[in-house]
Each structure stands twice: as structure tokens, then as C-alpha cells.
Homo-oligomer: A and B are copies of this chain.
Amino acid sequence: MRTMPATAATPDALAAQFAGVRALSTALVAPLSDADATLQSMDDASPAKWHLAHTTWFFETFVLRDHVPTYRLFDERWPFLFNSYYEAEGQRHARSRRGMLSRPTLDEVQAYRAAVDKAIVEAMPMLPAEALTLIALGCQHEQQHQELLLTDILHHFSVNPLEPAMWPGAAKVPVAMPGPIGWIEGAAGQVSAGIDMPEDLAGFAFDCETPRHPTLLPPHALADRTVTNGEWAAFIAAGGYADPRHWLSDGWAWVQANRITAPLYWQQVDGVWTRFGLDGRRPIDPAAPVTHVSFFEADAYASWAGARLPTEFEWEAAAAGADPRSGNQLDAAGPVEPRPSTGGPAWFGDVWEWTGSAYRPYPGFRTAEGAVGEYNGKFMSGQFVLRGGSCATPRGHVRASYRNFFYPHQRWQFTGVRLAKDL
């Protein structure tokens, strides 16, 4: 997880939020067998079972163990298995070995979830404010893992030659191809970005979004939509992956070493570009936003298109007035994927948008104390900021100041591209 203390809503609202978040996780894994939920196809991804248990471990450890004196651990051996990178919480099972945990079984993990849920609900009336805050944090934490659970299972399934579908595909509604990109002129000059840590129960932010602080924007414009699959296919056809002039040096090395020629999950079948998704393999939809591209690819595309990526502050200023609950985000179990745009500029949902901003601390940023807050600052090297949430982000989780971050070669998330240019 990547968090720090935060305030939460009213106790009743918190209880409802807790119930809703926990139920969604269970709904998401309904199509998975125990074996499906045990798979780990690469070190970056974790088994579904692990996500279910790790998010539960968070509540058990930081709420029940620390704030409910009578609580007894569900299984004393499990914290070693389901701690992630909380160094302060001690030793943990090697990340690359998570896929070896056929035991505990999925049923046992679900029983763990039920037991912890019950204990939390029972304890909630007696918990101090600090513990309630931790429950709110745990909900945010679990929402992050819900997105990872979906992107991870997609990856696990992708390496099985049978390419199983998690859910049947929805019927596609034909949509008119989007027209050329329009440019939205952004504010220039001094604007505020980030958020101050909310102090009442109605707000939430991760530490890396704080503090709110002034930034300077140059004269610029942002595209009114993200790049589509159809546009990306044109980039491929134009030799974009074979021309080093468009690529960062590290990106070119990555392309060469991994023989990258298309977005992750794309394959050309009988001359037609297809993609693998949670509903199996299907032809790409040329009108839909391209996804599963790395920062390196996003940057190269922008260079090829004579544009650049937006900075995270340009993006935040543009999205500041939009409804963060709008757009194609995750509401319930079922196939999710980016969908063609059907209206005006959309800032939230569909795909995380790579920005040109390295993930670094804001002026005045402070790392929180203790294990729960241990984690955002320590990732601040080598990664780039993404903004806006995706089709796999639980609705309600993201906001204009929200900073996601990944290494420039990673692309198993629902990541896409919006262009920007100087004016």
C-alpha cells in the first residue's frame, strides 16, 4: 500500500463504506477458482488470493491487533505471508514466491475475511477516532488492491495459452469514430496544486498529494481526449516502434531488449489487431482509448505526434473542475475496459494518463511516522505520475489531486496517453 493517516466520514458512513468495499472484493473474485486465485505470472503482480488476504491483514493488524485488546490473530503464521513491504512490521514472504501459496486455500482466506469483517463491525462502536481513521485508510487501501487484483488476474490469465475469460464480454454498441483531437487551452501562470491533509471526516488524501502548494504553468493546451487504438495502430504502421529518434534512451533499450512492437496484450491475428482483456481475446476497438502502454511508449508516441505529455500540474489544473466520480470507472464485478468517448472532455476513468512528471515530493512534504504511513515517500525515485483513474478504479477512489505512479516500463495497468503542447 501507499498511504498515510487520513480522516474518515461519519461512523455510519464509514461502516457502510467498509461493508461496500469488502463486498466488492468478494464479488470481483467470484469467477475465480482456488487455482486461479493462486497464480502469480510475474513479480510485479500478486495472486488474487494474496490481495484478498493482504487487505484483510491490514485491518487485522492496524485496527484489531493494535486497538482491540481481546483480539486473537486468526492464524499466527499468516502475517508473515500477507505483509507486503511494511519493513517496520518485520520479515515477510518473498514477493516472487507469492504464487506458491496453494495453502491457505481460497476458502480459508474467505473465512479469514469473514472473521475479520465480523470483528471490525463488532468493535467499531468502541474504537477510538484514530482506529476509525485507520479503517477509512484500509478502505482506500483495499480499493487500490481491487484495481491491482483485476490488472493482475488479467496478466496471469494472459500467459495461459487457453486465454481464459474472467467474464463474458458485453455486447459492443457501435460508436462513431472520434474526430481529430481538439486542443483545450490551459491556464498559464500560478495555480495551486495538491491538497492539504483533510482534518474532518468527509475528506481523504494520501500523503503524497500534500501539501497544497503553488505551481507555475507555462502557456499550454491539452488534448480533449486520450489517444485511441486506431491512432495507435497508425503509429505502429508508421514504424513508430522501429525508429529510435522518438524514444528515450532507456525506452529504446527496453524496446530492443524485449522486442516490443505493440501494446501489451495486442496480437496480430490474420492481419487484424486483437487485444486480450477480461472478456478474452477480441479485435481492438479503434474508437476506444489505447491502454496497456508504458511511459516509454506514451512518450515516443507523443514525440512522433509532434506533441508532448502533460505535466501532472497541467493535468490537475484542467481536471480541477470535473466530477471525479464521472466517467468509466469500476462499479461492480464484470468485464471492464476503456470505452470510446461519447461526449465532451472526460478527465476521469477509462485509462490512467501518463504525465511527464517524475514522482517526487511536493515542497513541504513530510513522511508520516510509523508503519502505516511508512510508504509513499519511499517510492519517490525512478517512477512517473499517472492521473485520472481507469476503468478498473473503484468509483469514488480517485480525485483531481490523486497521484498514481509506476516505473516507465510498466504497462500491465490500464494506462493510456493524453497529448499536450506548448502554446
Contact = CB atoms under 8 A, between A and B. Distances in A.
> Range of interface residues on chain A?
35 or more
A345 B81 CA distance: 46
Contacts of A81: 161-162
B162 A39 contact: no
Contact of A248 (B35, B249, B380): B380
Contacts of A249: 85, 378-379, 381
A299 B408 CA distance: 21
Give how many copies assemble into the complex.
4
A291 interface: no
A363 B34 contact: no
A103 B216 contact: no
A198 interface: no
A374 B161 CA distance: 26
Contacts of A102: 33, 35-36, 38-39, 156, 160, 164
B408 A381 contact: yes
Contacts of A85: 249
A52 to B, nearest CB: 14
A352 interface: no
A159 interface: yes
Given A360-B357, A379-B248, A100 B35 contact: no
A396 interface: no
A108 to B, nearest CB: 11
A152 B382 CA distance: 25
A93 B163 CA distance: 13
A39 to B, nearest CB: 5
A173 interface: no
Contacts of A258: none
Interface in A249-303: 249-252, 295-296, 299
A103 B165 CA distance: 11
A273 B37 CA distance: 35
Interface in A232-257: 244-245, 247-252
A356 interface: yes
B216 A214 contact: yes
A87 B244 contact: yes
Given A216-B214, A379-B249, A160 B35 contact: no
Nearest to A247: B378
A197 interface: no
A80 interface: yes
B162 A97 contact: no
A360 B363 contact: no
Interface in A350-384: 356-358, 360-361, 363-364, 374, 377-382, 384
A334 interface: no
A196 interface: no
A144 interface: no
A379 to B, nearest CB: 5
A383 to B, nearest CB: 9
A118 interface: no
Contacts of A356: 360-361
A261 B190 CA distance: 44
Nearest to A77: B162
27 contacts: A33-B34, A33-B35, A34-B34, A34-B35, A35-B37, A35-B106, A38-B38, A77-B161, A85-B249, A87-B252, A93-B161, A100-B159, A103-B162, A190-B190, A213-B218, A215-B216, A218-B364, A248-B379, A248-B380, A249-B378, A249-B381, A250-B382, A251-B381, A252-B378, A296-B381, A356-B361, A381-B384
